[in-house]
Chain A
Amino acid sequence: MSLVKAENVTKIYRMGEIEVEAIKSVSFDIEPASFISFIGPSGSGKTTLLNLIGCLDKPTSGTLKVAGVNTSELTRQESAAFRGQNLGFIFQDFNLIPVLTVYENVEYPLLIVQNIPAEERRSRVISLLKTVGMIDQRHKYPDQISGGQKQRTAVARALVTNPRLVLADEPTANLDSKTAFMVVDTMRQMKEEFGVTFVFSTHDPKIVGEVETVYTLQDGKLVNQVLGKRDDNAETF
């Protein structure tokens, strides 16, 4: 069963009297435990599509099912609960909470969103911080660590709830190439270790080269699907 199933998904934004069709009748399937990237020029609809998959926004038409749930039917509360239970997010600007330490940032979803007991919370946070190599920095605040460390913290925060799907919007855009590679590598390890599905939006060839499937978006349309590194077959929509 697909983890994400999109059928003729369209998203139209209204800006005053002008309608902008950001996503145009897009259909695709994402299988569990995959490593996928949406690429395309600026304004092609990558972030919009990720927002739709991440239940941050709703399609104007079409059906989008994530983990078997039709995202259009979720209320505001249900959306929040669904995101908290099933999804992880990694942002281009890291979006760590500045008043919380590295440890507390990773702990936040368990503490505030999932209400996990203290002992289990502690072991999960410590374990993930070790995995992403941030255990020594756990008492530092976001403004005391580098960009790469921030993104690794964000990866840990996204994974700490054991989500089925992690959505990463341009996760390496603000990182130098060495750090970007380390972060992507960390995410790949997480995928291998925990069977989590990662979906990226990116321009970054380092990521494109690492993923299993690349979807190309242009003017809101899915124009190309390329199976990654280990499969050179390409399919054009």
Chain B
Amino acid sequence: MLKLFKIAVRNLSRYKRRTLLTSSLIALGVMFVLVFIAASESFKYLMISQITDSMLGHLQVHRQGYVASIDSLPLTLNLSAKAEKKLEKALEEIPEVEAFSPRIKFGGMFSNFIDTTNIRVNGVYPELEMATAPLFLSRIKQGEKSIQEGKILIPELLAKGMKAEVGDTVVVIATNQDGSVNGRQFVVGGIIESVTGPGGRDGYMHIHDAKELLRMEEMEISELAIRLKDFDKLNIVYDRLKKLLAGESNPQGKPIFEIHTWEKLSPFSNVARMINVMTFFIRLMLIAIVLVSVMNVMIMAVFERIREIGTISAIGTKPGKILSLFLIEGLSLGFLGVVVGNVLAVAVVFILNLVKVSFNFGRQIGLTLSPRLNAVDILLISLVVIVVSVIAALQPAYKASRMEPVEALRHV
């Protein structure tokens, strides 16, 4: 095989300009695809981490049926203290879990004694919430960077609309599970910005205050947000947790819990999916570029070397070896493009990281793109390009191997 490689490489060097042009085209294609993947994945993960680290967590567990009616924040679908304990016990068995935060979520009325508006309130344990959503604190634009009992963090636009400021006394009124209404005074402890843009109505208070406001006799939670040590293990943990909780059912035999990854809970997952689709099409374009350029070169090579094919066939070269010779030429062309393309991609990504490209996304300003080349992507793209190069050479190579030597020798 090595001998054929030697001859194939010499044959490629015979048409230097053509080989150089084709391998440059492949190299540029490989570089473009790798840089695009690195940049888009960086953007995607930056946005995912903004969303999950600011608010959502990587996974959330609710009582069965809660997410389907999440808009009404039903208190009747809360998880009991007993169910929460079972859940926490299951989470302790999963070493990949870094932190989790139980939350009570409810809808209420917010009043500054002059005007009243609606608000969505999240009752949280501050330490657990910070550990699960580490960017939470960075969202607090004014006031203390904490959630203290008796205080409420209110969303930016609501504060503006209601002319509420840090230190003001406000009233939050909520309907309890049994239908009675209760209100309580709070001090505005801080003003918090939304993750993705204006319009957010989520306020935060200590979970003990929420329990008191809702007149709960014992602690119930609406959801439990989970943060993982390694985001890439999301699906593994999801499966494991699902298995661990699968046996938990109510007296009617129906499952108690439902588990969702961040993708099911955030509309940004559609953007992430679009990025994946774009990446897929860019990869398809690369395949097309490689296919067309290698096939073109190999068809030309076969056409120009018909007499030579006749000669090597006449002196006893078997059709299989002639086929291999041309396939190796295609493979070498692809390999050359891949090597150069990978080197270029590494250089461009290095430069992008040096330059520190920054951008704004919604309310997030000055996000810095930090593209990284993934070894799996490099290997996959390289493999695809090399395989496509061989496939592109297949037809011309087959044609060469099937040539009748007597006709090939007659060719002028």
A residues adjacent to B (C-beta < 8 A): 51, 54, 56-57, 76-77, 80-85, 87-89, 91, 93, 95, 97-100, 108-109, 111-114, 157-158, 161
Residue of A77, A89, A93 near B315 (CB, 8 A) is A89
Residue of B3, B10, B314, B404 near A99 (CB, 8 A) is B10
Give the residues in chain B near A113, CB-CB below 8 Å: 315-318
Give the residues in chain A near B406, CB-CB below 8 Å: 51, 56-57
CB distance A89 to B314 under 8 Å? yes
CB distance from A169 to the nearest CB of B (A): 9
B396 at the interface (CB under 8 A from A): no
Give the residues in chain B near A114, CB-CB below 8 Å: 316
Question: A82 to B316, alpha carbons, bound, how many Å?
Answer: 7
Interface residues of B in 136-194 (CB under 8 A from A): none
User: Given known contacts A82-B316, A113-B318, what 15 new A-B pairs fall within 8 Å (CB)?
Assistant: A54-B314, A56-B409, A57-B406, A76-B319, A77-B319, A80-B317, A80-B318, A80-B319, A83-B314, A91-B311, A91-B409, A95-B409, A97-B7, A112-B4, A113-B317
Give the residues in chain B near A161, CB-CB below 8 Å: 316
CB distance A56 to B405 under 8 Å? yes
Question: A57 to B310, alpha carbons, bound, how many Å?
Answer: 12
Question: A113 to B317, alpha carbons, bound, how many Å?
Answer: 5
Question: A109 to B406, alpha carbons, bound, how many Å?
Answer: 18
CB distance A56 to B314 under 8 Å? yes
Q: Bin the interface of chain B by size.
A: 20 to 34
Question: A57 to B409, alpha carbons, bound, how many Å?
Answer: 12
B residues adjacent to A (C-beta < 8 A): 3-4, 7, 10-11, 13-14, 307-308, 310-319, 321, 404-406, 409
CB distance A112 to B321 under 8 Å? yes
Contacts A56-B405, A81-B318, A95-B308 given; indicate if A112 touches B313 (C-beta within 8 A).
Answer: no
CB distance from B314 to the nearest CB of A (A): 5
CB distance B315 to A100 under 8 Å? no
Closest-by-CB residue of B relative to A76 is B319
CB distance A100 to B316 under 8 Å? no
Give the residues in chain A near B308, CB-CB below 8 Å: 95, 97-98
CB distance from A133 to the nearest CB of B (A): 22
Question: A83 to B312, alpha carbons, bound, how many Å?
Answer: 11
The residue among B11, B13, B405 with the most chain A CB atoms within 10 A of its own CB is: B405
CB distance B11 to A112 under 8 Å? no
Residue of A88, A89, A91, A111 near B3 (CB, 8 A) is A111
Give the residues in chain B near A93, CB-CB below 8 Å: 307
Give the residues in chain B near A112, CB-CB below 8 Å: 3-4, 7, 312, 317, 321
Closest-by-CB residue of A relative to B320 is A77
Residue of B7, B307, B316, B319 near A109 (CB, 8 A) is B316
Residue of B10, B318, B404 near A100 (CB, 8 A) is B10
Question: A98 to B10, alpha carbons, bound, how many Å?
Answer: 10
CB distance from B308 to the nearest CB of A (A): 6
Closest-by-CB residue of A relative to B408 is A56
CB distance B312 to A97 under 8 Å? yes
Question: A226 to B318, alpha carbons, bound, how many Å?
Answer: 37
CB distance B14 to A84 under 8 Å? no
The residue among A80, A109, A114 with the most chain B CB atoms within 10 A of its own CB is: A80
CB distance from B281 to the nearest CB of A (A): 39
CB distance A80 to B307 under 8 Å? no
Give the residues in chain A near B4, CB-CB below 8 Å: 112
The 4 A-B residue pairs whose C-beta atoms are closest, nearest first, are A84-B316, A99-B10, A113-B316, A95-B311
Question: A99 to B325, alpha carbons, bound, how many Å?
Answer: 13
CB distance from B48 to the nearest CB of A (A): 53
Give the residues in chain A near B312, CB-CB below 8 Å: 97, 108, 112
Residue of A57, A77, A88, A157 near B318 (CB, 8 A) is A77
CB distance A99 to B7 under 8 Å? yes
Give the residues in chain B near A81, CB-CB below 8 Å: 316, 318
Jot down 25 A-B pairs with beta carbons below 8 A, ordered by A.
Answer: A51-B406, A56-B314, A57-B406, A77-B319, A80-B313, A80-B316, A80-B317, A81-B316, A83-B316, A84-B316, A88-B315, A89-B311, A91-B311, A95-B308, A95-B409, A99-B13, A99-B14, A108-B312, A108-B315, A111-B3, A113-B316, A113-B317, A113-B318, A157-B315, A158-B315
Question: A165 to B406, alpha carbons, bound, how many Å?
Answer: 18
Question: A206 to B162, alpha carbons, bound, how many Å?
Answer: 114
Question: A108 to B313, alpha carbons, bound, how many Å?
Answer: 12
CB distance from B299 to the nearest CB of A (A): 19
